[in-house]
Amino acid sequence: MDGDGLFSCTDYRAFLKELYLQKKTSRAGYSYRKFAEDMGFTASNYLHLVITGKRNLSHDAIQKIKKNNSWSAQQKKYFENLVLYNQTSEENERQKYFGELEKILGKKRQVLNPD
């Protein structure tokens, strides 16, 4: 799953897992260690812990992932809001981030379908 598949995701952990599996399929010997390194992390198991739900992404971690992917500005914004939406337990905050996700999707639809 590449950055375009991001817009169909509602769970950033599932997206990261699919991204990892895509890279693993296309590269012999690809590991979580290499995935973490590619995303800018020194801890080799950090992203595995995130994907399995044992850790959350910090603000700095979100920024590293955005920086180390060749995503569009919309994709980066969507990813950040998706993480914040998934990680917050406060209903008001969840609604705020969900609204941001919908705005981004609305803009993307307009770009793809100007009619």
Residues 6+ apart with CB under 8 A from 96: none
pTM as predicted: 0.87
H-helix segments, 1-115? 12-26, 32-38, 46-51, 59-67, 73-87, 91-112
- The Cα–Cα gap between 93 and 3 comes to 25
pLDDT per residue of the chain (115 residues) written in tens, 0 to 9: 556 689 999 999 999 999 999 999 999 999 999 999 999 999 999 999 999 999 999 999 999 999 999 999 999 999 999 999 999 999 999 999 999 999 999 865 444 444 4
- The Cα–Cα gap between 57 and 47 comes to 9
Q: Is 79 in contact with 62 (CB distance < 8 Å)?
A: yes
